[in-house]
Structures are given as structure tokens and as C-alpha cells.
Amino acid sequence: MAAQIIDGKALASKIRAEIKTKVETLKERTGVTPGLAVVLVGNDPASCSYVTAKERALTEAGMNSIDIRLPAETSQEALLETIAQLNKDPKAHGILVQLPLPRGLDADAVIRAIAPEKDVDGFTPENVGRMVIGEECFLPCTPHGVIELLRHTGTETEGRHAVVIGRSNIVGKPVALLLARKAPGGNATVTLCHTGTRNLADFTRQADILVVASGRPNTVTGDIVKPGATVIDVGVNRVPCAGTKTGYRLCGDCDFDSVSQVAGHITPVPGGVGPMTIAMLLENTYLAAQRAAERGA
């Protein structure tokens, strides 16, 4: 039987409409318009398109998008100075530096420079630490979006076996933590697989919930998926494709055709996790502005 497709675009659009209403209320009540500084260094085509989508979504939700474009040759010092200025700018409630950064720039140092109360990506050590110990924080957008997709589809996570493939700081590690949290969309038994895992299929075949964030097409094929499992494909890969306008097509980390024959639910690429990442970014930007308004900042 073919899997049900999880429509991330539709859920994200509903969440975005709710945020828009909350933004209007915040503006009326406090006079504060949430603003996000979006910093893009260089012109990597994928990063450019992600950043454009984020900026458009901010504007549509009634928020300010402070667009900062820097050349690929920008020095570490200049980038840190830009962050220091944004940390002081009361109109920038959030700061997002699009990753990856061009070669030669130290992303860890740049992330550390962002004020934790403006870190709407949830990437600073302060926010990561808070997430680990269950304190109030900004949850990272893609992992949070994955949890919301599971909740929305009514996928029970409590007591079930969730297998995550990939151990990046942006997706794999935080998604594993959120799935294990004692909270709605969590309380699962979690296995974190990565490039050092032997016999990946032994684990994926046990997964009631399979989150694939390996960054490699065809990491998961239908023959290694448990029948009826919920499969969340976080991958976005550009594969050359003659006959398309762009010369490429997007695919995830799963072989959609075979996996969708076995899984119970599956996210498409595009239209699954990607739109949810943006919706969660808007949510965090709204929260950052609301907290700043409460502090009188």
C-alpha cells in the first residue's frame, strides 16, 4: 500500500497564518514589529534561495526582514563586527547567519558571537545547553519542524522506536534529543545512526519513526524500512537533471519511490520538512520580539 504523504507545505501555511495574527496583536499591544536580521555571506545558490524564501515569509507574516549581504571575501573580523552591531540593534530581535559560511570563515566563532536572546536558530552553546537540560530556549528550526510534523500527523512517539540517521549539530543531534524529551512529540526510544554505524539496515528496519538527515540521496531504500513506519526525509539534494529549467531537480535522502511503497507516512521533497523550517523560524522570531517587548528592550 502506498504511504500517506505528509503535507508540510499545508501545515506550515496554517502555522504562518497563526503567527501573522499574533504579530498583529503584538504590534497593537506594544508597538513592536518583530525583526530578523538575515546575514548571507557569499552567493552559494542553495543558500541564496533559502534566504530569499525566509525573507519573503517574514514580510508576509508582517515582520521586518533586515537583509544583510556580504561578499564571500568578508573577513572573520568584519563578520564578527556585523554581528556585534546587530546584537546592539533594537530593531533586530533575531539574528540568522545562513550556513554554511564560505571557506576561511569560522562558523563556530560566528555562532558564539550571536547574543543568545537573539539566536532564533537555536545554535549558540547557551541555547543548545538549555535545550539539553529542558530549560526555556529557542528550539532549532528544522528539528522543531520535524516534531511538529509528527504531532500533526498523529504519529505516536511515546514508547516507540525512533531512528535518526545523521549527527549534525543542525539536525541529527537535536532531533534525537527532542524525540527523547519527556514532552509531546517525544518520549521515544531513540537510536542515533551515523557514518560510523555498522549495518544501518539492522536499525532502520526496527524504526517506527525514521528521520533521515544523512545529506546523501538514496541513503534509505524501501527494502530497509519497517512496513507502516513514519519516514521524515530532511535531505535536500540537487541532482543534475537535463530537461528542467534549472538543470537540476531536488531530491531527499530517501529513495521516495521505493520507500513510499512500504512506509505508512512519508514527507515529500520538496514540500515536507523545508516549509516547516521556515514556519518555526517565524515562530522563534515572534518569540524573540515578544520577550524583548516584555523586557522593554
CA–CA dist 80, 88 (Å, integer): 13
Query: By CB under 6 A, is residue 279 in contact with ligand GUN?
Result: no
Query: Would you call 290 a catalytic residue per the annotation?
Result: no
Q: How many residues sit close enough to ligand GUN to count as binding (CB under 6 A)?
A: 9
Using DSSP's 3-state secondary structure scheme, residue 275 falls into helix
- All residues at 6 or more sequence positions from 81 whose CB lies less than 8 Å from its CB, including other chains: none
Work out which of 3, 11, 66, 97 binds ligand GUN, going by CB under 6 A: 97
Closest of 181, 107, 113, 97 to residue 143, by C-alpha: 181
Q: Based on CB atoms, which residue is closest to ligand GUN, 142 or 204? A: 142
Contact 231, 3 (CB under 8 A): yes
Q: Which stretch binds ligand GUN (CB under 6 A): 21-29, 73-81, 95-103, 261-269?
A: 95-103
The set of cell numbers assigned to 16 is: 504562518
Q: Which stretch binds ligand GUN (CB under 6 A): 83-91, 96-104, 177-185, 240-248?
A: 96-104
Query: Would you call 98 a catalytic residue per the annotation?
Result: yes
The set of cell numbers assigned to 236 is: 535536500
Q: Which residue is nearest to ligand GUN (CB)?
A: 99
Dihedral of CA 77/78/83/85: which sign?
A: positive
The CB-of-236 to ligand GUN minimum distance in angstroms stands at 9
Q: Based on CB atoms, which residue is closest to ligand GUN, 219 or 260? A: 219
DSSP state letters, 181-206: SSSTT---EEEEE-TT-S-HHHHHTT
Query: Would you call 226 a catalytic residue per the annotation?
Result: no
| Catalytic choice (98, 118, 119, 233) | 98
| Catalytic choice (119, 121, 233, 255) | 121
Q: Based on CB atoms, which residue is closest to ligand GUN, 26 or 139? A: 139
DSSP state letters, 71-86: -TT--HHHHHHHHHHH
Query: By CB under 6 A, is residue 236 in contact with ligand GUN?
Result: no
Q: Based on CB atoms, which residue is closest to ligand GUN, 74 or 98? A: 98
Restricted to residues 137-156, the positions that interact with ligand GUN (CB under 6 A) are 141-142
Using only C-alpha atoms, what is the Rg of the chain?
19
Q: Would you please indicate which residues are annotated as catalytic (active-site) residues?
A: 54, 98, 121
